[in-house]
Structure 1
Amino acid sequence: MPVLRPLLLCLIFTVNACGFQPKGRLSSLSAQPLWQLENAGSLQEALNTALKRAGATVQSDAPQQLQIVSVERQKDIYTITRAAKLSEYRLSLNVGFQVRRQHAPAGLPAQVRVERTLPYADAMVLGKQEEEALIWREMEQDAAEQIVRRLAAGQ
């Protein structure tokens, strides 16, 4: 029992020293609190939420703009069974973005990519549209969080 406590403390310090952070915790954008979103489209809500969770404020006249350059969705066949039936789809979301300060580009454009698989069965077609829509929303949230993490890292 006396050995367990120092071992646990050592483990905690090791995990903390390597930079581990739980996924739900976003880096702070407190040094750059005001952002304006341009061409966000379907990512608008997810980006607003991710920026607010990181401590930033979204305003229409902010000095820094986050411009969404491109949003590409792709749905490909991922797995086919031996009976030549579709088993899984691969959903891919590519988001290109550019940070602008005072309407001038700040750095190079960047891109995030999120992929998920969607199981498919002919017997369960009715619920697949709702499941696919839910997966796309989750992918948008994940992409927004990745973008905010990159913004925080680039401070």
Structure 2
Amino acid sequence: MTPRLLIPAGLALLLSACGFHLRGLGATTPLAFASLNVTAPAGGLGDVLGRQLSLRPDLKLLAAKEAEAVLAVENEAMDKQILTVNKSGRVTEYQLIYRARFSLRQGAVERIPSTELTLRRDYSFDENNVLGKEAEEQILVRDMRSDAAQQIIRRLAALKPAAAPYTPVPAAQ
């Protein structure tokens, strides 16, 4: 093997030996439940969560009555604020603020109380390219929903399995 090939091969070997892998690839952290129901308003974050959760081999998406846990997307909102203006008073930058509120119930136990995620993205605005900037804004909104869904899934993966109710064992006679 030539030295030109040895260096990249060695780096690839080192990266794989340390456990590095791209996000979304490799083993997934098991969830504390085997079935889940996602309750959300039509469109938006609920659809993104449903798509991403349906890719997990260790989870079944079921109706609320049949699922072990219910993930409720209570609401989501998008806000757009002016970030900067130029000297003639025209907007040059906006900030998009995405908020999503969710909770998780497993049986009668509230495992994740109502929690709000907030994501922010800044983007420049050019009045000469309004259509392009509107498309950029839609892409940013889609990416923020995807990021919010990933954050929620990571929080679900961080949950420990619910403890079984304690039942005392009768003493041997």
Taking structure 1 as the reference length, the TM-score comes to 0.78
Match of 2:121 in 1: 116
Q: Which deviations, in whole Å up to 9, do the C-alpha atoms of 1:14-73 show, x marking residues without a partner?
A: 7x5xxx764334843354221101124321221012213343221112120001122121
Q: 2:52 aligns with which of 50, 53, 66?
A: 50
CA distance in structure 1 between the aligned counterparts of 2:23 and 2:114, rounded to whole angstroms: 24
- Tell which deviates more after alignment, 65-74 or 33-42: 33-42
Q: Read off the aligned partner of 2:53 and give its amino acid letter.
A: L
* 1:127 aligns to 2:129 (yes or no): no
- Within-5 A mapping of 1:61-80: 61-80=66-85
**Bigger mean CA deviation after superposition, 91-100 or 38-47:** 38-47
Structure 1 residues 73, 103: CA separation in 2 closer, same or farther (over 3 Å shift)?
A: farther
- Using a 3 Å threshold, how does the CA distance of structure 1 residues 23 and 151 change in structure 2: closer, same or farther? same
3-state SS of 1:108 partner: strand
The one-letter code matched in structure 2 to 1:43 is: L
What SS class does the counterpart of residue 32 from structure 1 fall into? coil
Cα gap change, 1:144 to 1:107, in 2 (>3 Å): closer
State the Cα RMSD in Å. 2.8
- The aligned length equals 151
Query: Which amino acid letter does the alignment assign opposite residue 89 of structure 1?
Result: Y
CA deviation after TM superposition for structure 1 residue 85, in Å: 1.9
Unaligned runs of 5+ in 1: none
Where structure 2 has 5 or more consecutive residues not aligned to the other structure, the ranges are 161-173
TM, length-normalised to structure 2: 0.71
- Preserved CA contact (<8 Å) 1:90 1:116: yes
Q: Is the 8 A contact 1:36 1:59 kept in 2?
A: yes
Partner residue in 2 for 1:33: 34
Task: Give the whole-Å Cα distance in 2 for the aligned partners of 1:21 and 1:8.
Answer: 11
Q: What is the DSSP-based 3-state SS (H/G/I as helix, E as strand, rest coil) of the residue aligned with 1:69?
A: strand
